[in-house]
Structure 1
Amino acid sequence: MVLTHNQISSYEHHGFLIYGPILSEKDLKDLRQRIDQLASGEHPNAGKIGVRLEAATQKGELQETSKRDKVWQLLDPHLYDDMVFKHARKPAVLDIVSELLSTDNIKLFHTQTLMKPAFHGSIVSWHQDSAYWTSISPPALVSCWTALDDATEENGCVRMLSGSYKKGLWPHDRRDFLHAQGVDVSEATPVVLKAGSCSFHHSLTVHGSFENKTPYRRRGLVTSYMRADSKWVGKGDNKPQFSLLRGQEFPDSV
């Protein structure tokens, strides 16, 4: 057992767990460099990755800003880079995920990098991950949020709404992105992390982050996991091939 009884109880109560260091100094340095290569276009597979740009870039601003610092989000970088995929399979992470999901059978659902550049890193609206991930049932995935830079209240660390996952799926309205309705921001807990540390959260936990106006970057690498016996309830026959990271496959499952 990796987690203590108190840590598991805390996760079950709050819907998230601020864990602590998960990366060595070398792994942290290497991942920072690799993510920057993907964002800047220097990686040989950079053109294949889904990229979302900062809102200011889309408005025609940030003309003098580097390509790297115009990026808001990288989508599923593990599909195109072995180092990111290796991090998603990290045994220390999977051991914790296994305990939080109460299973030895784990599949990788999704990875992303949220860049939050210095000075103009924009918000992440209040949401539940499962409001986006409607193709997976039950809505009980676990994400590991690994800080590649220090994540502080000033530079836009993630904020979690304690216990919100217990209420099921909240109403969301769609503007540019989904927005959970009825969030009292004053009740949210800032998840302050040192670079190389991580937190875990339930896919129904309401969370978001404020903008970054500091001179310091706030990159976060997020790896999201599900039980291998989860069901695919998406439309059509376009189910992705989800990687089995631990345990066994199940018929009629993801």
Structure 2
Amino acid sequence: MQLTTQQVEDFHNHGVIVARGVLTDADLQPVIDELSAWIDERALTLHAEGKIAELHEDAPFEQRYGLLFGQCQDIGQGMDIMFYRGRAMFNFLHNAHLLDAVEGLVGPEITCNPIQHLRAKPPVTFDPHTGPSFHVVPWHQDAGVMMPEAEGSNVVTCWLPLGDATEEMGCMQALP
């Protein structure tokens, strides 16, 4: 799905947009299915180690990770894209709907940079008394970890929640 003229203008004026409806459920379902299988395998391993008592196999995708995380925070170890390289995730990186939207912002020459992450975000937020958990990413600019040669390049970060992203869940915040 191509972005509207207003969305492109807003992006160039503010550096950030929320582009709802770019992806369909069919675009995301293979990734969700693959992640569900990974979570199943990880949960079974932790269950065998006695770290998880309840597998929550019937819980919906949007809730299961949080339920497992509540029993053992190790559930997410290895779920970042540098360790987890599934076929559905790879295919998603060149999803036509996603690329159409990005093309409207940077033009037709699109590359996928190596600053990618897959972050399972349980429903936790920053606690001023105990500090952030490892799931809380401090304020930063993605450009801060790029090579100097990338200076001046048009770089777009696409943040895609696979479930409801609400303030109560501790969702991402962006500053224009």
TM-score range relative to shorter protein: 0.5 to 0.7
Residues in 1 aligned to 2:79 and 2:159: alpha-carbon distance in whole angstroms? 14
More helix by share: 2
More strand by share: 1
For residues 207-230 of structure 1, give each alpha carbon's deviation from its aligned partner in whole angstroms, at most 9, with x where no partner exists.
xxxxxxxxxxxxxxxxxxxxxxxx
User: 5 Å matches for 1:99-118?
Assistant: 99-102=104-107, 104-110=108-114, 111-118=116-123
Residues in 1 aligned to 2:162 and 2:149: alpha-carbon distance in whole angstroms? 28
Residues in 2 aligned to 1:134 and 1:150: alpha-carbon distance in whole angstroms? 33
Question: Structure 2 vs 1, CA of residues 16 and 37 (structure 1 numbering), >3 Å: closer, same or farther?
Answer: same
Residues in 2 aligned to 1:106 and 1:116: alpha-carbon distance in whole angstroms? 28
Residues in 2 aligned to 1:26 and 1:15: alpha-carbon distance in whole angstroms? 28
Q: Which amino acid aligns with 1:108?
A: C
For residues 182-221 of structure 1, give each alpha carbon's deviation from its aligned partner in whole angstroms, at most 9, with x where no partner exists.
xxxxxxxxxxxxxxxxxxxxxxxxxxxxxxxxxxxxxxxx
TM-superposed deviation, 1:66: 6.1
Are residue 74 (structure 1) and residue 80 (structure 2) matched?
A: yes
With a CA cutoff of 8 Å and minimum separation of 6, indicate the structure with the bigger relative contact order: 1
Partner of 2:145: 132
TM-superposed deviation, 1:65: 1.0
For residues 148-206 of structure 1, give each alpha carbon's deviation from its aligned partner in whole angstroms, at most 9, with x where no partner exists.
011011111111111xxxxxxxxxxxxxxxxxxxxxxxxxxxxxxxxxxxxxxxxxxxx
Partner of 1:2: 2
Q: How many residues align?
A: 140
TM-superposed deviation, 1:84: 0.6
Partner of 1:152: 166
List gaps (5 residues or longer) in structure 2.
Answer: 43-68, 126-132
Residues in 2 aligned to 1:72 and 1:117: alpha-carbon distance in whole angstroms? 15
List gaps (5 residues or longer) in structure 1.
Answer: 43-61, 163-254
Residues in 1 aligned to 2:23 and 2:39: alpha-carbon distance in whole angstroms? 21
Are residue 65 (structure 1) and residue 72 (structure 2) matched?
A: yes
Residues in 2 aligned to 1:63 and 1:91: alpha-carbon distance in whole angstroms? 36
User: Taking every aligned residue pair, what percent have the same amino acid on both sides?
Assistant: 24
Residues in 2 aligned to 1:136 and 1:39: alpha-carbon distance in whole angstroms? 37
**Structure 2 length-normalised TM:** 0.66
Residues in 2 aligned to 1:35 and 1:143: alpha-carbon distance in whole angstroms? 21
CA RMSD, Structure 1 to Structure 2 (Å): 2.9
Q: Which amino acid aligns with 1:132?
A: V
The answer to whether the 8 Å contact 2:11/2:17 transfers is: yes
Residues in 1 aligned to 2:146 and 2:79: alpha-carbon distance in whole angstroms? 17
Question: Structure 2 vs 1, CA of residues 23 and 2 (structure 1 numbering), >3 Å: closer, same or farther?
Answer: closer
For residues 64-90 of structure 1, give each alpha carbon's deviation from its aligned partner in whole angstroms, at most 9, with x where no partner exists.
41642x449603467x22211111101
